[in-house]
C-alpha cells in the first residue's frame, strides 16, 4: 500500500479545500431531523451539486467528477475538517447508488442518480421490519406480481430519513413458496407519497423524527423500479450491506475531524486528567481507522471484494463513535446534557450505531465464523 499522494491528489485537495472555505455555512444548519433542517440540508446538497462536489466519485454524466475512491477519501477528509453539514442524501448516495452501479440498468442510473446527486430526491432505506432486522431474511413484506409491475404490502420500521424523504428502497418477498428464507426476495424502489403508503414518524430520545414506520397497502410499483432480476434480491442486498458496513457509510475523514474537535474541547476545559487517556485513545483510534480504510480501499481498487472485513469495520466505527461522544459530553458536564448542539445530537445518533446496519452481535458472529473460522454459535 503506497499512501504517497500524487501531484493530482494534492491539487484536488487544494481545490476542494478552497471551495469548502468559500461555501460552508458560517452558522450550523438546523438539525436535519426537523422539517426546516431537512429543507436546509436539501438546499446544501443542491449547492454542492452545482459545482459537482456532492458525489465526487461518480461518473460525470450523472453529476460526479469521476474521481474514484482515493480522491473521495481525500474529499471526505476536507469536507469534515471544514465543519460542513451532515449529508441528508446519505442513504441514497452511500447505499442505493452503489447498488445501481452494480446491478441497475442504464435507464435506472440515468433516471435515478442525477436528482439524487442534486438533493431533489432524498431516499430512505426500508429494510427492517418488526420481526426482521439483523435477521433480514425473515422479512414478511410482500411483492405480488400484477400487470406491468408489483403490488407491495406489509410494514417496514426504523426507516432512516423516511419522515421527510421522497422515495425508499427495500426488499420484499415475491415468492412465498421459495425453499429457503433468503430466496424469492425482490429489491424494489418505491415512492413514499404513492397511494397506499402511510408514513408514521418515530421520535428519537430528543423527540426528533429520525426514523419512521412505513405501512404499505397494495402500493403499485412499475417493473422499471425493480433492481436486478425478481427473486435475486438477497444477493443484491448483500452487496449493499457490504457498502453500508464497510467503506462508504462512515468515512475516516468524519472521525479524524471529530477526534481533533474532541482534543480541542479537552484543552478548552483545562486538560482534565481524568479524560487524558480517553482523548488520546480517540486520536489514535481515528488515525488507525484512517489507515485501515486506506488499506481496504487499496485492496478494493486492486480488484478484491469487500467481504466479512466489512463487519469488523462496522463494529469498530460504531463503538468508536459512541465512546468519542460520551467523552465529549463528560467534558461538557451539564452543558453537554442540556444544550442543543453537535455533540449532543451526535451522541443521540451514535447510540444507534451498534444496532443499525446489522447489530454488532451479528457482526461479531460473522467475524468469528468467516474470518476466524470458528464454529457457528447458538442463536
Which active-site residues does the annotation give?
Answer: 244
Alpha helices (H) in 172-250, listed in sequence order: 233-245
Residues 6+ apart with CB under 8 A from 137: 181, 182, 185, 234
- In sign, the C-alpha dihedral spanning 319, 320, 325, 328 is positive
Q: Output the nine-digit C-alpha cell for 333.
A: 458536564
- Beta-carbon contacts of 214 under 8 Å, excluding residues fewer than 6 positions away, are 126, 155, 156, 157, 159, 162, 168, 192, 197, 198, 199, 200
User: What does R_g of the chain's alpha carbons equal in angstroms?
Assistant: 21
CB 233 within 8 A of CB 254: no
309-332 helix and 233-245 helix, angle to the nearest 10 degrees = 40
Q: What residues contact residue 154 under an 8 Å CB cut-off, 6+ apart? A: 129, 140, 141, 142, 172, 216
Q: Spell 330-365 as b/e; 16+ CB within 10 A means b.
A: ebbeeebeeeeeebbbbbebbbbbbebbbbbebbeb
Those residues with Cβ within 8 angstroms of residue 179's Cβ, 6 or more apart along the chain or in another chain = none
- Note whether 179 and 166 are within 8 A (CB): no
DSSP 278-343: HHHHHHHHHHHHHHHHHHHHHHHHTTPPP-THHHHHHHHHHHHHHHHHHHHHHHHTHHHHHS-SHH
Amino acid at each position: 500500500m503506497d499512501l504517497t499522494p500524487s501531484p493530482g491528489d494534492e491539487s484536488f485537495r487544494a481545490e476542494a479545500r478552497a471551495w469548502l472555505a468559500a461555501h460552508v455555512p458560517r452558522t450550523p444548519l438546523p438539525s436535519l431531523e426537523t422539517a426546516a433542517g431537512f429543507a436546509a440540508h436539501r438546499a446544501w446538497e443542491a449547492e454542492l451539486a452545482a459545482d459537482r462536489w456532492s458525489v465526487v466519485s461518480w461518473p460525470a454524466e450523472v453529476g460526479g467528477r469521476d474521481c474514484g475512491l482515493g480522491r473521495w477519501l481525500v474529499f471526505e477528509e476536507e469536507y469534515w475538517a471544514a465543519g460542513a453539514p451532515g449529508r441528508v442524501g446519505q442513504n441514497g448516495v452511500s447505499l442505493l447508488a452503489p447498488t445501481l452501479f452494480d446491478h441497475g440498468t442504464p435507464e435506472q442510473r440515468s433516471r435515478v442518480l442525477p436528482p439524487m446527486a442534486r438533493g431533489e430526491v432524498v431516499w430512505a432505506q426500508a429494510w427492517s421490519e418488526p420481526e426482521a432486522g439483523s435477521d433480514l431474511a425473515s422479512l414478511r413484506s410482500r411483492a405480488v406480481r400484477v400487470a406491468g409491475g408489483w403490488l407491495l404490502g406489509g410494514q417496514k420500521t426504523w426507516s432512516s430519513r423516511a419522515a421527510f424523504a421522497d422515495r425508499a428502497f427495500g426488499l420484499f418477498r415475491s415468492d412465498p413458496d421459495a425453499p429457503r428464507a433468503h430466496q424469492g426476495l425482490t429489491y424494489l424502489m418505491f415512492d413514499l407519497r404513492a397511494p397506499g403508503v402511510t408514513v408514521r414518524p418515530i421520535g428519537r430520545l430528543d423527540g426528533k423524527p429520525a426514523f419512521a414506520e412505513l405501512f404499505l397497502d397494495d402500493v403499485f410499483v412499475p417493473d422499471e423500479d425493480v433492481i436486478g432480476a425478481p427473486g435475486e434480491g438477497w444477493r443484491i442486498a448483500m452487496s449493499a450491506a457490504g457498502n453500508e458496513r464497510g467503506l462508504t457509510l462512515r468515512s475516516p475523514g468524519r472521525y479524524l475531524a471529530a477526534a481533533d474537535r474532541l482534543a480541542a474541547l479537552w484543552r478548552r476545559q483545562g486538560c482534565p486528567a481524568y479524560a487524558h487517556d480517553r482523548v488520546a485513545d480517540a486520536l489514535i483510534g481515528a488515525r488507525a481507522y484512517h489507515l485501515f480504510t486506506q488499506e481496504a480501499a487499496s485492496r478494493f481498487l486492486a480488484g478484491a471484494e469487500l467481504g466479512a472485513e466489512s463487519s469488523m469495520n462496522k463494529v469498530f466505527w460504531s463503538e468508536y463513535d459512541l465512546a468519542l461522544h460520551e467523552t465529549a459530553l463528560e467534558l461538557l458536564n451539564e452543558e453537554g446534557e442540556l444544550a442543543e448542539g453537535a455533540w449532543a445530537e451526535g451522541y443521540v445518533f451514535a447510540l444507534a450505531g451498534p444496532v443499525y446496519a446489522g447489530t454488532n452481535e451479528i457482526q461479531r458472529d460473522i467475524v468469528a465464523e468467516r474470518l476466524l473460522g470458528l464454529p457457528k454459535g447458538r442463536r
